[in-house]
Structure 1
Amino acid sequence: MGALPEACPCGQSDQRGRHLAFDACCGRYIDQGLVAPDAEHLMRSRYSAFVRERADHLLATWHPSTRPSDLTLDAGVKWLGLLVKSHRQIDTDHAEVEFAARSRVGGRGQRLEERSQFVREDGRWYYVDGEIKS
């Protein structure tokens, strides 16, 4: 019997509560180059890109007005989980996603809570910036 497909790091589940496979979830956007249909799917793919250390996807989905010239990911971070708290469509081309991401760095647990802003240009969603909640 073959190995089960790898679960997507973003934790998204199907209608039966089973975790989606990476290739059927965020892998479509990271590896196959498909366009995320909304800001929440883009945000989930960006989280999965952090988990898989895919700076190329992060930079490609970051709006040019706020995108850094390069991005070095901290290899010492172990991402533990994502919780999408809300996805709000502001208008046709603007949305925000509020989420919490858990990680471990040097044995210490951390939690990042952010309200992220997204914009759609030429049919593609981009991460603009985020407000970290303390």
Structure 2
Amino acid sequence: MIDDDARCPCGTGETYGACCGRFHAGRAAPTAELLMRSRFSAFAAGDEAYLLASWHPGTRPASVDLDPALRWTRLDVHGATGGGPFDDEGRVDFTAFWRSAGGARGTQRESSQFRREDGRWYYVDGAAG
């Protein structure tokens, strides 16, 4: 886990406790972008339970097996469409940066789709982009 006073991995500049930690603790993310950021932080923290809980039931896999050799190091959000507090759907475009235990580096560029149901945002799916 990540210390509440540490800088949040999602890149907002806030502490983990004031940023993504509150969503990992059960608070609903108010926007699709904040849910996406909290999911990135869950990847960085190795929080498979949060990744599953924030995945839409219609597309959620039975399990998530994170690669312990990968460390997610940075998130760049390129833009969002919809996904606000009064929307039911949204899309967030981002690049996530990683480093392997062996020192290799890489990125994952994605356009993720989100849906809000019963006041909670869920990750639906993503396309490489």
- Say whether the fold is shared (TM-score over 0.5): yes
Residue 39 (structure 1) aligned with residue 9 (structure 2): no
d(CA) in 2 for partners of 1:75 and 1:61? 21
Map 1:121-132 onto structure 2 (within 5 A).
121-132=117-128
Which amino acid in structure 1 is aligned with residue 55 of structure 2? W
Q: Select which of 92, 98, 108 maps to 2:87.
A: 92
Counterpart in 2 of 1:22?
Answer: 16
- Indicate the percent of aligned positions where both proteins have the same amino acid: 47
Counterpart in 1 of 2:8?
Answer: 8
Which amino acid in structure 1 is aligned with residue 59 of structure 2? T
Structure 2: gaps spanning 5 or more residues:
none
Q: Select which of 108, 111, 131 maps to 2:107.
A: 111
Q: Give CA-to-partner distance per residue, 1:73-106, whole Å, 9 cap, x none.
A: 1111011100010011078200000000000123
Which amino acid in structure 2 is aligned with residue 8 of structure 1? C
d(CA) in 1 for partners of 2:66 and 2:94? 20
Aligned residues, how many? 123
What is the CA RMSD across the aligned residues, in angstroms? 1.4
Q: Secondary structure at the match of 2:17?
A: helix
Which amino acid in structure 2 is aligned with residue 119 of structure 1? R
Offset at 1:27?
0.3
Q: Secondary structure at the match of 1:6?
A: coil
Structure 1: gaps spanning 5 or more residues:
13-18
Offset at 1:5?
2.0
d(CA) in 1 for partners of 2:62 and 2:47? 15
The TM-score with structure 2 as length reference comes to: 0.91
d(CA) in 1 for partners of 2:8 and 2:87? 28
Counterpart in 1 of 2:96?
Answer: 101
Q: Tell me which stretches of 4 or more aligned residues in structure 1 moved more than 4 Å.
A: none
Larger radius of gyration: 1
